[in-house]
Structure 1
C-alpha cells in the first residue's frame, strides 16, 4: 500500500464521534422493599446482571480512539467488585436496589472517572433492562 494513501485514509478516520460500549457481568441478590405486600420481588432473589457502559466522544487524532477499553475496565471493575456476590440491600446507597437505582449508583461513581460517559445499561434478565443517561 502506498504510504501516502495509508496516511490519507488514517486521517479520514480521525476526529469522528463514536460510542464505545464495554460489557461487564456480576451476580447479586436483593429484595425490593418498596413493592406492594406479596409482590414476588419483595422476596430475596438474585440476578446475573449484565452492565453496558457507554462512552461517547471524538476520536483522538493521535490514537484514533475515543478511550482505551482498558480505562473503562479500570474504572468499572472496582465498583462492581463491591456488588458482585453481595446482597445489594446491604450496600450503602442501594437499600432499594431497583434497576433504575443501580444504574444511577453506577453513573454517580463513574462520571468523574469517565468524562465521556453517556449511558449505563443494566440488564437484570435477557428481556429486561434499564438505560440511564444521567441527570
Structure 2
C-alpha cells in the first residue's frame, strides 16, 4: 500500500455553541490541513497521484474557508468543530477532483488511489481527523 500526503493552511474564526468553556467565545485559529491518499496501483510515471492535482484541490477548498467566520457557513450548523471542518474539506476535495476528472472515492476492494483521511490541526497539539475507515 502506498500513501501520499499534501498540506495546506488557512486562518479563520469560529465559536462553538453548546460548549461550556472559553471556546464558546469567538476566537481564531491558523489551521493546518493534511490530505492523505492511499492506493496499491501506481500510474505509468510511478506515482500514486500527482501531488499538484491533490494540492490544488485541497488549497481550493481551504481558500473557501480562509479569513471567514466559520459560523457563517450553513454547512457547519453553527458548530464548526475541527471534526466538522475535516469532513467538509474531505468531501470538498473529492468534489474538486471529480470536476477535474479524477475520482478518489473509496470503493471496497479498490486498488486505485482513494482519499483516505483529512487531518485538521487547530494547534500543533490538537488535531481532528475525518477518515473513511
Q: Does TM-score exceed 0.5, indicating one fold?
A: yes
Partner residue of 1:88?
70
- Asked which structure has the greater CA Rg, the reply is 1
Which of residues 120, 123, 126 in structure 1 aligns to 2:124? 126
Which of residues 69, 91, 98 in structure 2 aligns to 1:108? 91
Detail structure 1 runs of 4+ shifted over 6 Å in the superposition.
Answer: none
Aligned residues between the structures? 117
Greater RCO (Cα-Cα under 8 Å, separation 6 or more)? 2
1:77 aligns with 2:75: no
Uncovered stretches (5+) of structure 2, i.e. residues with no partner:
98-102, 105-113
Uncovered stretches (5+) of structure 1, i.e. residues with no partner:
1-16
d(CA) in 1 for partners of 2:22 and 2:82?
Answer: 15
1:26 aligns with 2:10: yes
Q: TM-score, normalised to structure 2's length?
A: 0.81
8 Å CA contact 1:104–1:134 kept in 2: the answer is: no
Q: TM-score, normalised to structure 1's length?
A: 0.80
d(CA) in 1 for partners of 2:43 and 2:75?
Answer: 39
d(CA) in 1 for partners of 2:6 and 2:117?
Answer: 11
Superposition RMSD on alpha carbons, in Å?
Answer: 1.5
Query: 1:25-73: per-residue Cα shift (whole Å, max 9, x none)?
Result: 110000001213xx10000000010000001113425110000110102
Query: 1:80-135: per-residue Cα shift (whole Å, max 9, x none)?
Result: 11100110111221221001111111112223425110000111001110121137
Instruction: Give 3-state SS (helix, strand or coil) of 1:111's partner.
Output: helix
